[in-house]
Homo-oligomer: A and B are copies of this chain.
C-alpha cells in the first residue's frame, strides 16, 4: 500500500542502532527544549509521567517521512534536532509546503480534524524527534489541568504560525515575503538560543519558493537583491543578517518604495 519511501515507523535496521542510545534516553527533564514544548508549570512528578510516554526516536535521514497524507493520527512529534517540512500534495501532483518545523516545534496536529494526516512530514536533513502517542497524551492531559492548558497552547501556537504564513502569502511583493520569511526564521532561532543574525536555511530554494508562493528563480534573485542592498549576505544556504534594522523595515514598513539605489 505504501509508496516508495518507508515511513520512520517501518524502519528499524539493526545497523542504525549503533547511534548513541544514551543520548536518546535523555529525559524531558533535562531537555533544553523543555520550555518550548512544555513551557507551563508542570511539576516533577507529572514530568516523569510525560517522560515515560515519550518514545525517543533514532535519527532520521534526509527525505524520511514521519507520516504521510492519509495516515491515521497516532502520535504527536516534537522536532528535537534538525528540521522538517510539511507538504500538502494535490491529486495532480502539485505540492504546497505548509510549514517548516525546527527544534522545539510540534508536528502532527494536521490530523486533529479528520483523524487522518492532511500532509506529509519530511525530514529536511538529519533529524531527530520525540514521539508522543496521542491517545496517552490526551488521557493524561484530562487528568492534569496544567497539561491540558498546555496542549491547547501548543496547538494555538501552531495555528499562530499558520496565520503568519497566510500573512506572508498575502504580501504582494516578493521582497516582503522573503524578508518576512527570514525574519520569522531568525526569531525562531533566537527562541532556541541561537544567534538570530545567523540564519542557516535547512531547506532548499525550491522549498522556500513553494512556501512563499514564488518561483525558485525569484527566491534566488530576491535574496541576491537583499544582499546587494546590504541587508543580508548569502552563501548558499548560509544567510547572515547584516542589517537587522533594514530587515525590520522591510517587514514592518512593508511597502517602502525606496529600494535604495537612487
Which positions in A face B, CB cutoff 8 Å?
88, 90-92, 94, 96, 98, 109-114, 118-119, 138, 142, 145, 148-149, 152-153, 155-160, 162-163, 165-167, 169-170, 172, 210, 213, 252-255
Contact = CB atoms under 8 A, between A and B. Distances in A.
Quick one: copies of this chain in the complex?
Answer: 2
Nearest to A138: B148
A98 B252 contact: no
What 6 pairs across the A-B complex have the smallest Cβ distances?
Answer: A112-B156, A113-B156, A169-B169, A113-B157, A96-B170, A113-B160
A165 B155 CA distance: 18
A255 B160 CA distance: 31
A254 B94 CA distance: 9
A29 B91 CA distance: 39
A156 B90 CA distance: 20
Given A109-B156, A112-B153, A169-B169, A163 B252 contact: no
Nearest to A154: B113
Given A96-B166, A157-B113, A170-B213, A90 B142 contact: no
A92 B159 contact: no
Contact of A252 (B91, B96, B155, B169): B91
A113 B253 CA distance: 26
B167 A90 contact: yes
Contacts of A111: 156
